[in-house]
Amino acid sequence: MSEKEEQVRGRETVNALQDADGTTIPTTRIAENTYPPQDGGKQAWLFLFGACIIEITAWGFPYCYGVFEAYFNSHPPFQGQNLVSIGGVLSNGVLQLSLPPIMYYVNNFPGHRIAVMWAGCLVCTFSAIAAGFAKTPLQLVMAIGLCYGIGAGMLFAPSIHLMAEWFKVKKSLAYGFICAAGAAAGAGLPPVYTFCLNRYGYKVTLIGWGIITFVVTSLGLLCVRPRLPVAAKPPPPSWRDFDFAKKPLFLIMLLATIVQAIGHYGPSLYLPSFAADFGISASQGAMLASFLNLAQAIGQPLQGWLADWRKSYYIPMLISTIGASLEALLIWGFARNLGLLCLFALAFGSTAGGFAVLRPRFAAEIVGDQDQQDNQSLLVFAILAASRGSAIIGSGFIMKNLVHEGSSTEGWGGGQAWSQLVIYTGVIMFTASFGAIGMFVGPQRRYGGGRAKSMTSEKSSNAVDNSSELV
């Protein structure tokens, strides 16, 4: 359907709808509005471009932190301070932990979404600048981990809420491109950060990064706007929004998400340091981090497309868990030179990163009747992300105790120094594949009627363009 035809369709909306309790809602105002098309058209792609820039700000830095960690551990004033190694993990974890409260807020105050994102941009900017003036490891971690993570969450959550209006059929593909933008930043920025750190030091690098963050993110925010007018009075919150927590499928997906998260970030955090123990230079170690993120930027849209095409998340889930496990045990375990480490970075990045793209599909499958339970889908997405964030924070402390830098590197997996981390990554990623058993307890099998009710409500849902559906 062309953009013009879909706008005409918006003017032909029915005159009355019913809400969940059967109350008739006049829709004269809806009929008078015309809306840009979903899943395509100039404005949808412009929104996606802006959302990708926001993603780069929110997620790009945690993907690059391995380079900073290697620099901090080898240069004063943070040399030898183990606490600085958790900065990237903390930022990533806090970002995801902040999503449920922020999503809950924009659910109830959708008119504040753009303002929240501008506030997040300012928090990220000043956090990076403040980190440049840090004198102790705790100050550095608080600025670059805790504060930056909060600001990134304020950017990311409203963008997901808005994306629900712009993409429906192509939701996994669109989300894959947004995730890939952060990964692409992780691929391109490590060599730049390495050059700046070695040339100018951490203070100038972090202050400059903060200023650039504000300029670039502001440009992205100018491209982001709602597709639909904000409702005068959003539906009031209800405890019924949380009844998905009783479903076995929710518990399965929650546990699978946590398990996958605690094993995923080892390579991105420690690969440059692993390479350094085998005589590989800092610039080549940064290149490995770039390859890891570049492969993720390619693999995430492909796995999102596969989930859309198959209308199922099971195949991408198995690829991102079992595939990543085999790569860790069979490639990383035997890697001793730059060639094999590059192969591992490309393979692991292209598979393991795809798990994050599947969260919208997890939420849709858990809720079942998505047309009737829009707020639940948003809450499920945010809670899954928060559980992942909690696991990521915990994994930073776990992996720190598995790595013994300075010990012998003789033997499989990097010897005493690294073999525990390699085994941990492989076993945990394989364990996360158990989430595929969700195909036997999906809502259409245990809570029947959700899909059928979606079909009966399709006409009325299309009339309002499903303004709150989770992408």
Average pLDDT (348-372) is 79
Higher pLDDT, 26 or 143: 143
pLDDT over 90 (residue 330): yes
Contact 354, 320 (CB under 8 A): yes
- State the virtual CA torsion across 444, 448, 452, 457 in degrees, nearest 10: -110
Residue 24's DSSP bridge partners are: 18
Question: What type of residue sits at position 246?
Answer: K
Q: Please tell me the distance from the alpha carbon of residue 407 to that of residue 396, in angstroms, as a whole number.
A: 20
Average pLDDT (391-416) is 84
Q: How confident is the model at residue 409, as a pLDDT?
A: 82
Percentage of residues in the chain having pLDDT higher than 70: 82
Higher pLDDT, 38 or 203: 203
Q: How confident is the model at residue 463, as a pLDDT?
A: 37
Give, in degrees to the nearest 5, the angle at Cα 113 between 238 and 471: 70
Q: How many CB atoms lie within 10 A of CB 174?
A: 26
Q: How many CB atoms lie within 10 A of CB 111?
A: 13
Higher pLDDT, 13 or 62: 62
* Structure tokens belonging to residue 307: 């989930």
* Structure tokens belonging to residue 400: 């720190």
Q: How many CB atoms lie within 10 A of CB 250?
A: 23
CA dihedral for 222, 177, 390, 202, sign (positive or negative): negative
Percentage of residues in the chain having pLDDT higher than 90: 25
Q: How confident is the model at residue 231, as a pLDDT?
A: 67
Q: How confident is the model at residue 151, as a pLDDT?
A: 94
Backbone torsions φ then ψ of 410, nearest 5 degrees? -80, 135
Q: How confident is the model at residue 375, as a pLDDT?
A: 66
Q: Please give the model's pTM, rounded to 2 decimal places.
A: 0.73
Complete domains list, the chain, with CATH: 37-462 (1.20.1250.20)
Q: How confident is the model at residue 73, as a pLDDT?
A: 81
Query: 3-class SS at 25?
Result: strand
pLDDT over 50 (residue 72): yes
pLDDT over 90 (residue 184): no
Long-range contacts of 360-364 (CB under 8 A, 24+ apart): 360/171, 360/172, 360/175, 360/470, 360/471, 361/172, 361/307, 361/312, 361/313, 362/253, 362/257, 362/313, 363/470, 364/470
Least confident of 316-320, 322-326, 459-463: 459-463
Least confident of 284-288, 308-312, 314-318, 424-428: 308-312
| Burial readout 218-245 (b: 16 or more C-beta within 10 A, e: otherwise) | eebbebbbbbbeeeeeeeeeeeebeebe
Least confident of 64-73, 105-114, 423-432: 64-73
Query: 3-class SS at 464?
Result: coil
Contact 84, 135 (CB under 8 A): no
Contact 91, 62 (CB under 8 A): yes
Contact 136, 188 (CB under 8 A): no
* Confidence at 410, pLDDT banded by 50, 70, 90: confident
Query: 3-class SS at 13?
Result: coil
Average pLDDT (25-49) is 70
Q: How many CB atoms lie within 10 A of CB 49?
A: 15
Contact 277, 416 (CB under 8 A): no
Average pLDDT (279-304) is 84
Q: Please tell me the distance from the alpha carbon of residue 137 to that of residue 139, in angstroms, as a whole number.
A: 6
pLDDT digits (tens, 9 = 90+) for 122-174: 999 999 999 999 888 899 889 988 999 999 999 999 998 888 788 877 777 88
Question: What type of residue sits at position 191?
Answer: P
Q: How confident is the model at residue 452, as a pLDDT?
A: 33
Q: How confident is the model at residue 237, as a pLDDT?
A: 64
Q: Please tell me the distance from the alpha carbon of residue 304 to that of residue 61, in angstroms, as a whole number.
A: 23
Q: How confident is the model at residue 16, as a pLDDT?
A: 38
Residue with tokens 């539906």: 235
Higher pLDDT, 349 or 396: 349
- Number of alpha carbons in the 13 Å side-chain half-sphere of residue 322: 10
* Structure tokens belonging to residue 204: 């100038």
Average pLDDT (202-221) is 92
- DSSP-assigned states of every residue in 416-450: HHHHHHHHHHHHHHHHGGGGGGGGGS-HHHHSTTH
Q: Please tell me the distance from the alpha carbon of residue 148 to that of residue 128, in angstroms, as a whole number.
A: 7
Q: Please tell me the distance from the alpha carbon of residue 426 to that of residue 405, in angstroms, as a whole number.
A: 20
pLDDT over 70 (residue 454): no
Least confident of 27-41, 120-134, 405-419: 27-41
Query: What spatial distance separates the first Cα and last Cα of the chain, rounded to whole Å?
Result: 20
Average pLDDT (83-94) is 81
Query: How high is the mean pLDDT of the chain?
Result: 79
Average pLDDT (195-204) is 90
Q: Is 284 exposed, middle or buried (0-12, 13-18, 19+ CB in 10 A)?
A: middle
Please give the helix or strand (H or E) that residue 177 lies within, else none. Answer: helix 171-222
Range with the largest mean pLDDT of 132-141, 185-194, 302-311: 132-141
